[in-house]
Amino acid sequence: MARKNKQARLESISGGYGAIPWTVLDSVSFKGASDKAKALLFALMRQHTGNNNGRLHLAKKWLYNQGWTCHENNSKARNELIERGLIVQTKWGGLNMGADLFALTWYDITNFVGLDITAKGYSRGAYLLCNLTPTPRRKPPVIKQNALTDDRTSPVPTTVLAKQSTGTTTVPKTALLDHFTGTTTENNVFIPLHTVNSVKRIVGVKAKSGIRKQPLS
């Protein structure tokens, strides 16, 4: 029979993971960092395997595969992490020298071979020395709304009254059209008809031939 007072199993995960101490999460350095800098720090933690601290890189191709496609934003976030002591650069790369290498400052560096810093020059826990103010956040854009535009979220629509004319409208004579004779097509195109002058026949008057004309029946 199982013991009732058996210690409950701690919540655990399977597979590799990145560890970050509470002292880092609660530090002024981390809490004051921008969101992009924090996200880049977590991306860099993905490379740590337990014995390669100091050899973490932020190569452009690797960042692009991780979704970091803006080089300018990546550089700003990297410099912010360095200024706040969350990471430290351990090797300066260049042409035919490979990428720049970095270390997470809450871990030890077990192997300094090939790095540009020594054990005496490495300061573990440098994030605790940070006294910088929080990085300013970008203010959301201000959307200006036209007062005359109806607000769809408002229960009472905005109604604009048209200004009524108080004067007398005068129509020029040229605008008055005589009665027209013609027809229209199905496209409302007016086609005028030619006017034929009718010949008036006068009954009871002698013509040139001298024959008296008779009234028409």
Q: Is 191 inside a domain boundary?
A: no
Q: Which of 7-16, 48-57, 76-85, 186-195 has the lowest mean pLDDT?
A: 186-195
**Domains in the chain: how many in total?**
1
Task: Provide the pLDDT for residue 162.
Answer: 55
Q: Is 72 inside a domain boundary?
A: yes
* Continuous segment of H or E residues that includes residue 42: helix 35-45
Q: Which amino acid is at 139?
A: K
Q: Which domain holds residue 78?
A: 22-129
Task: Please compute the mean of the pLDDT values over residues 183-211 and round it to a whole number.
Answer: 59
Q: What residues are paired with 57 via a beta bridge?
A: 101
Residues in the chain: 217
Q: Which amino acid is at 48?
A: H
Q: Which of 13-17, 66-70, 125-129, 204-208 has the lowest mean pLDDT?
A: 204-208
Residue 178 has pLDDT above 80, yes or no: no
**Can you give the pTM of this predicted structure?**
0.60
Q: Is 96 inside a domain boundary?
A: yes
Q: Which of 29, 25, 21, 135 is nearest to 82 (CA)?
A: 29
Predicted confidence (pLDDT) per residue in 157-173, tens digit: 555 555 565 666 665 55
From the number of C-beta atoms within 10 Å of its C-beta (0-12, 13-18, 19+), residue 162 rates as: exposed
Grade residue 142 by pLDDT with cuts at 50, 70 and 90.
confident
Q: Which amino acid is at 123?
A: S
